[in-house]
Structure 1
Amino acid sequence: MLGSSLVEALRRGVEAFQELGIEYALVGGVAATVRGRLRSTRDCDVLVVASRQDLSALKAELRERGFSHLDRADRHVIEDVVLYRFWFPVEESGFSLSLDVQAGGSDYHREVVLRATAETFGAVELQVASREDLILLKLLAWRPIDRADAIDLAALGSPSLDHRYLHKRAEQLGIVHRLEELLREGQGEI
């Protein structure tokens, strides 16, 4: 039940991004699942690089598609990202799933969106952040679940990872020490 609602929330979100021409990349737990790290989640995390005007239009479009959003309660500034949380009702259970739209404006955020590739999740075609960028985003967040995701994503993609990109970006983002710790915790080298 929750899985089909998650897919439906993603479908509606992706349609809104496409309708407005907003480039995006799926990040977070669902993206990790698409890239091979199976785990449960109750939210969909999406990174966008968009103007204020585009974000205003996106809020209206998502509301039209069944999401709720209260600007005062569902908008959070976290470092260089503004998080907009949209709630999608799961009728059968009385719960809601969240579509967390992370509006970033840094060069790195733009690169994550540009490097994303088209993948399919539950019959929805969407843009998913690369395995390398997911690892880096997980290292930036650095919560226990993110560390576990990063270790598994690195192990799953070890032979095909772009090692040079990972190290270069980790250095630029100031997280080389976290990447090195990840390597010590994981099973091998990146």
Structure 2
Amino acid sequence: MAKSGGTLEICRSSPSPKISQRGLSLSYYRRSKQRGGTLDRFQRFIRILKAFAEKGVEYTLIGGVAVILHGFPRLTEDIDILLKADVQNIEKLKSALEEVFNDPSVKEIELSDLKNYSVLRYGAPDGFYIDLITRLGEVADYGNVASEKINVEGVRIKVATAEALYRLKKESLRPKDQNDALFLKGKLEYLKKS
């Protein structure tokens, strides 16, 4: 059965904390993803970031998946990628996405769109979504978001630090971002005491 191409969408705008180990949160994430038949989403996420590593894409993982990797058990429907905004990096990104999704529509991703709009949402033919971001207003871009590399299922993933994620989420009005910020603040306070 032939798959139709993916989609690109331009977006013009942009509980008590529980401290846990990354392994526990990943285990929770995998179990919770199995419930809706979406364990495949976690595996797809790993495949994408492995392709990024193989192609040399310069990125930092932000958003819900980054918070999950810091230990907060929550669900998310997409991954948020903060990208270095240069032509070579975007070509590497397109090559990685085309390899994973076998979707010619990734060729439509343009650096100018990524620079002009807050978010470029790539929807793969199978319904998997990736938010491609080069800046978050005047607050952040690839060059000023602190990150660390962690190993998940043998893949080195560049993820924003807990402090950087807290800075990005603390002013958001969305309830899920407020919950993330509360968790991250608690984690940072806990780590400070340790």
Indicate the TM-score class for this superposition, using the shorter chain for normalisation.
0.5 to 0.7
Deviation at 1:122, TM superposition (A): 5.1
**Cα distance in structure 2, aligned partners of 1:77 and 1:18:** 21
Could you say what secondary structure the match of 2:134 adopts? strand
What is the identity, as a one-letter code, of the residue corresponding to 1:117?
E
1:111 pairs with 2:144:
yes
Deviation at 1:35, TM superposition (A): 0.8
In the alignment, is the contact (CA less than 8 A) between 2:51 and 2:99 conserved in 1? no
What is the identity, as a one-letter code, of the residue corresponding to 1:13?
I
Deviation at 1:31, TM superposition (A): 0.7
What is the identity, as a one-letter code, of the residue corresponding to 2:163?
E
1:17 pairs with 2:56:
no
Aligned to 1:165: none
**Cα distance in structure 1, aligned partners of 2:161 and 2:60:** 9
Tell me how many residue pairs correspond in the alignment.
151
Given the superposition, is the C-alpha separation of residues 132 and 3 from structure 1 closer, same or farther in structure 2, using an over 3 Å criterion? farther
Deviation at 1:101, TM superposition (A): 2.0
Could you say what secondary structure the match of 1:135 adopts? helix
Aligned to 1:37: 72
- Which of 48, 56, 74 aligns to 2:83? It is 48
How high is the TM-score relative to the length of structure 1?
Answer: 0.64
Deviation at 1:81, TM superposition (A): 5.8
**Cα distance in structure 1, aligned partners of 2:85 and 2:150:** 22
1:131 pairs with 2:162:
yes
1:27 pairs with 2:62:
yes
Deviation at 1:129, TM superposition (A): 0.6
Once the two structures are superposed, residues 145-189 of structure 1 have per-residue CA deviations (whole angstroms, 9 ceiling, x without a partner) of 11111011111221335xxxxxxxxxxxxxxxxxxxxxxxxxxxx
Deviates more, 1:59-68 or 1:20-29: 59-68
Deviation at 1:121, TM superposition (A): 3.8
1:85 pairs with 2:121:
yes
**Cα distance in structure 1, aligned partners of 2:39 and 2:62:** 19
Deviation at 1:51, TM superposition (A): 0.5
Given the superposition, is the C-alpha separation of residues 21 and 122 from structure 1 closer, same or farther in structure 2, using an over 3 Å criterion? closer
Could you say what secondary structure the match of 1:65 adopts? helix
**Cα distance in structure 1, aligned partners of 2:93 and 2:85:** 10
In the alignment, is the contact (CA less than 8 A) between 1:67 and 1:86 conserved in 2? no
**Cα distance in structure 1, aligned partners of 2:51 and 2:40:** 17
**Cα distance in structure 2, aligned partners of 1:28 and 1:107:** 15
Deviation at 1:40, TM superposition (A): 0.6
In the alignment, is the contact (CA less than 8 A) between 1:67 and 1:88 conserved in 2? no
Aligned to 1:4: 39
